[in-house]
Structure 1
Amino acid sequence: MNIAVVFAGGTGKRMNTRSKPKQFLEMHGKPVLVYTLEIFQNHPMIDKIILVCFEPWIEYAKSLLKKYFIDKVCYVILGGDSGQESIFNGIKVAHEEFPDESTVLIHDGVRPLIDEDTITACIQTVEQYGNAITVAPAIETIFLKDPGTNQVGTIFNRAYCEMAKAPQCFKLSDIYQTHCKAIREGQDDFIDSAQLMQYYGFSLYTVEGPSENIKITTPSDFYIFRAIMDAKESLQILGL
């Protein structure tokens, strides 16, 4: 069984919006979150979706599921005080309801440009290696900044650098047990699931995703999303 855990938390502080969180902002009359959920809804290998949302917007999220006929979402659950806690809340429900050998795909609700082929490749990679981290090549020079002097530190060869994206995918038993271990040890500041799993000794395997698989966090990200959607719409009109 393949289960998508979609995290729709956050209040959009960097988006500078006071009306709605970023995941509920609309593009062409449809919320960003719905674009994301529809990719998993329409994927033939995805069996169920667990949506993690923060409390004031849970009922609104449920109304969107009905409006857009997203019936693979089996649970809409409350997020936690951090991203790590929110993801665990979703994984915990999956652990309670589905077999341990299931594959869990952890994805941001504000990454609406993931595609079917990448999701398929992630599932196949988990079946072969036990996990799959979606990545994209680094296209800028990356270096470590010296915090003491504000000088440029080690400069990395970007040919060997990749950026971690989502979905990040694991066997349910592995990701659940590792989260439980982190909770017991008070380790609660991991930046994402990949760092959590690597910290506890897992070798991680990559799947290269589309370059446009951006996370919509700032106004400029939203404008990029709109430009990509407009371009795709134009190509459809032209029959390309």
Structure 2
Amino acid sequence: MTQSVAAVIVAAGRGTRLSSQHSDLPKQYRPLAGKRILTRTLEAFLHHPAISRVVPVIGSQDGALFAAVLNEIDPALLPKCAAPVKGGETRQVSVLHGLSALEAEAPGLVLIHDAARPLVTSAILDRVIAALADGAKAVLSAVPVVDTLKRSGGPDAPAAPLKTVDRTHLWAAQTPQGFAFDAILDAHLKARTSGLSDFTDDTALMEWASVPVQLIEGDADNFKVTTAADLPRAERILAMSQASNSPAPGRLPPLSSLCDVRVGTGYDVHAFEPGEAVILGGVTLQHHKRLKGHSDADVVLHAITDAILGALGDGDIGSHFSPSDPQWKGASSDRFLVDAVGRVARRGGRVAHVDVTIVCEEPKIGPHREALRASIADICKLSVSRVSVKATTSERLGFTGRGEGIAALATATVRLPFDDSEETGHAV
């Protein structure tokens, strides 16, 4: 039986390290790319289909600030957002207040997340929830420590030599952290009874309660906004992650997390035959001829499909959709392009940009350029700004110059996660 999932968003802190002479707003209420940080954090959880309830825990004086946050959230999401709970004097006390607010609903699972981590993705939430569903009582999302660590003598021994700390098996804790609801509530109540109130991490509290914690991979981009320098960094990541027009915001990995950048090229040509329209880029253009081919002969989508397959090193359109196969007779070419985009997605990546040049004397492409861009963007799940469509003639030279057909040249940029085995030449 599927257990219900709730979330507690801890937003009661003051964030003094981000304060300046220009503003003393708590950092969770600072603007980030047009919305408040807390708005973006809440939306990440409210959008997730597995999460049925989200409890914000706010500062006792922040009611008006939180009301402004609610005004920025899509009204359709607000039924999942509980009334805000007032925080306590420490983070641990604030979390307990949030958990207590959920006690009547008694969800099976609960995620606890810092409001100042607005770049949390659905992929991270999925991994935490999946680990809990598999039976873990406590789950920590974390990233491996990659920097060399040094230990100083501290203020009591400033002249003491530095010591290098072995970073092997060291991980930097993040949120969300996930728990069986009864287990985390019980641990918090026991800590309060024991007079403890200064745990700054809920998995540390579970360790104190002798509950095993399962480690899962977090995301380096899911950092905690702490200083003024963190804001422009977060804005750059948001700009990359919002490049897609996907109908499910946040479901795709941020482009900034996909560091293996690949480029592929594609070329296709089809001859004219008698007809009434040509199909280019998924758009039907009225014309006194049509393009001849086994499918719908969309030369533009064929070239883009080959470009994406080339970036993946995954053959060409003919190797996946043979022109001798009767099932593809008259097929709409968007099926081929959707398949290529899906191959990228299954490898954890995204198409980042498409550029296509159409070579023909007729029909005129200029009046239809924006329609072609929009169609290609929709098929590739891209922003229109990431699709370029250009047209040229061959100055009456060659088969296109003689009006015998149309050619298309395409370039596709694909971004994938790095695969270390490929760097060493191993088979994938």
TM-score, shorter chain, exceeding 0.5: yes
- Correspondence list, 1:175-214, <5 A: 175-214=184-223
Mapped to 2, the partners of 1:62 and 1:53 lie a distance apart of 11
Query: 82-91 or 221-230, which moves further after superposition?
Result: 221-230
The residue correspondences of 1:12-31 to structure 2 (distance < 5 A) are 12-17=15-20, 18-31=23-36
**Take 2:153 and 2:143, find their aligned partners in 1: how far apart are those partners?**
26
Report Cα offsets for 1:47-81 as digits up to 9, x if no partner: 00000000221233134224422411112010101
Root-mean-square deviation (CA), in Å? 1.9
Aligned residue among 76, 85, 110 for 2:93:
85
2:12 alignment counterpart: 9
Shift of 1:154: 5.6
Residue identity in the other structure for 1:166: T
Q: What is the Cα deviation at residue 35 of structure 1? A: 0.8
Give distance in 1, aligned partners of 2:47 and 2:147. Answer: 34
State the match for 1:155 in structure 2. Answer: 165
Q: Distance in 2 between matches of 1:125 and 1:194?
A: 14
Say which of 119, 131, 149 aligns to 1:113. Answer: 119
The partner residue of 1:74 within 82, 90, 100 is 82
Describe the SS at the equivalent of 1:74: coil
Give yes or no for contact 1:49–1:75 (8 Å, CA) kept in 2.
Answer: no
Q: Counterparts of 2:207 and 2:117 in 1: how far apart (Å)? A: 23
Q: Distance in 1 between matches of 2:116 and 2:14?
A: 12
C-alpha separation in 2, matches of 1:170 and 1:88: 13
Q: 1:232 Cα shift? A: 3.4
Q: Which residue of 2 aligns with 1:124?
A: 130
> Rg bigger for which structure?
2
Counterpart Cα distance in 1 of 2:180 and 2:232? 35
* CA distance, structure 2, for counterparts of residue 118 and residue 229 of structure 1: 16
**Where does residue 51 of structure 1 map in the other structure?**
56
Deviation at 1:94, TM superposition (A): 1.2
Structure with the larger helix share: 1
Q: Which amino acid aligns with 1:20?
A: L
Paired letter, 1:191: T
Aligned length, in residue pairs = 237
Q: Distance in 2 between matches of 1:238 and 1:159?
A: 41
1:136 CA displacement: 0.9
CA contact (8 A) 2:12 2:86 kept: no
Shift of 1:19: 4.0
**Which letter maps to 2:16?**
K
Question: 2-side partners of 1:28 and 1:220: how far apart?
Answer: 14
Deviations 1:178-234 (A, max 9, x none): 111111111122121111111111111012122100000111111211221233356
CA distance in 2 between counterparts of 1:143 and 1:170 reads: 33
C-alpha distance in 1, partners of 2:202/2:164?
Answer: 26
The letter of the residue matching 1:139 is V
TM-score (norm 1): 0.91
Percent sequence identity over aligned pairs: 26
Give the secondary-structure state (helix, strand or coil) at the position aligned to 1:50.
Answer: strand
Q: Residues 23 and 33 of structure 1 are in contact (CA less than 8 Å); yes or no, is this contact kept in structure 2?
A: yes
Deviations 1:99-151 (A, max 9, x none): 2x611100011101111011011011112212211101112112444445343
> Unpaired runs of 5+ in structure 2?
244-351, 353-382, 388-413, 415-428
Scaled by the length of structure 2, what TM-score is found?
A: 0.53
In 1, the alpha carbon distance for the partners of 2:229 and 2:197 equals 30
CA contact (8 A) 1:144 1:152 kept: yes
Distance in 2 separating the partners of 1:105 and 1:126: 10
